[in-house]
Amino acid sequence: PPRFRWTRDGRPFSAELPGVSLSPGGGTLVINASLAGRLQGRFRCVASNALGTALSPESHLIAENTPQWPKEKVRPVQVEEGDPVVLPCEPPKSAVPPKIYWLNSRIVHIAQDARVSMGQDGFLYFANAQLGDSHPDYICHAHYLGPRTIIQKEPLDLRVAPSEPPKPGLKPGLNPPGAPQFWNSRNYPGSISVLSWFNPIFFSPTPWVSWRRLNAPLPPGRAVLDNFNKTLRLRAVSEADDGEYECQAQNGHGTARSVHRVTVEGTGGTGIYWDGLGGTG
């Protein structure tokens, strides 16, 4: 039978410490939850028999306190009709990013559409504010899966004043795209995603968003548009997906475009994402 031993931060780790044990008949390391804070680190299992030795992937043990939103004095957000608006969220950081939801004080989800939507950063973006957006209770909720805790930000009071005279329609506005980031999604084990910062479209009337791949068609069956066309996602990515992908926002007053250069650095993932619209007019 194989023999099992463990290392912690590259050094031998004893499974005979009080509160620590190996599962009977196997190599699973069991650590009492009360010791997690003292034994944080990167663990690896080493299994060996007469034929050789095998190493497990690293497991990172992190002990965190229950997240709490710091108390803050929130001022009303005052804009004119037709102005773009961003309502921030910024939940406490965690090893596993929380799921973000926007609700009101009656626990009803804030309706989202092509004009109003949540970015990958959890902020709520309004391409152009309307009088009906005026509410005193836009509340960001953060759901932390590890500690099974939901916390909420102080309510944000959005006040939209009539524009006198009414603002004219404007060509879509796009911020410069952020640098792509590689991240491992715990919701999709083993997947690797690539994304840029979420940079939404602004101004009125609300633009229509579309995506295309430069010099090649989007892969049929694997390309999906999410978040009211603001997010392009590819499934089962490979090096063949390297290239440039263009996002275009268009309304009756003009067109804005952004180009994202994507490089796939391995085939171990199952998804690749672009969140954000940035670029030039």
Report the pLDDT value the prediction gives residue 170, as an integer from 0 to 100: 56
Once rounded to an integer, what is the mean pLDDT over residues 80-105? 93
Q: Is the pLDDT of residue 186 over 50?
A: no
pLDDT interval class at 66 (50, 70, 90): confident
Report the pLDDT value the prediction gives residue 145, as an integer from 0 to 100: 87
Highest mean pLDDT among 21-25, 96-100, 250-254: 96-100
Instruction: Indicate the range of 99-103, 170-174, 231-235, 242-246 predicted with least confidence.
Output: 170-174
pLDDT interval class at 191 (50, 70, 90): very low
pLDDT in tens, 227-261: 888 878 877 777 888 888 888 888 877 888 888 78
Once rounded to an integer, what is the mean pLDDT over residues 102-123? 92
Once rounded to an integer, what is the mean pLDDT over residues 151-157? 97
How many residues are listed for the chain in this entry?
A: 281
Fold of 77-161: Immunoglobulin-like (2.60.40)
What pTM was computed for the model?
Answer: 0.69
Once rounded to an integer, what is the mean pLDDT over residues 162-189? 50
77-161 shares its CATH topology with 181-275: yes
Highest mean pLDDT among 139-148, 198-207, 246-255, 264-273: 139-148
Residue 15 to residues 25, 49, 60, Cα–Cα distance (Å): 14, 19, 17
Q: Which CATH architecture has domain 3-61?
A: Sandwich (2.60)
Name residue 29's beta-bridge partners.
22
**What does CATH list as the number for 181-275?**
2.60.40.10
Compute the distance between CA of residue 144 and CA of residue 186 in angstroms, rounded to an integer: 12
Domain ranges of the chain: 3-61, 77-161, 181-275
Report the pLDDT value the prediction gives residue 105, as an integer from 0 to 100: 95
Report the pLDDT value the prediction gives residue 4, as an integer from 0 to 100: 93
Tell me the pLDDT of the chain averaged across its residues.
81
Report the pLDDT value the prediction gives residue 143, as an integer from 0 to 100: 97
Report the pLDDT value the prediction gives residue 263, as an integer from 0 to 100: 76
Highest mean pLDDT among 60-64, 69-73, 98-102, 190-194: 98-102
Highest mean pLDDT among 128-132, 183-187, 223-227: 128-132
Once rounded to an integer, what is the mean pLDDT over residues 153-168? 87
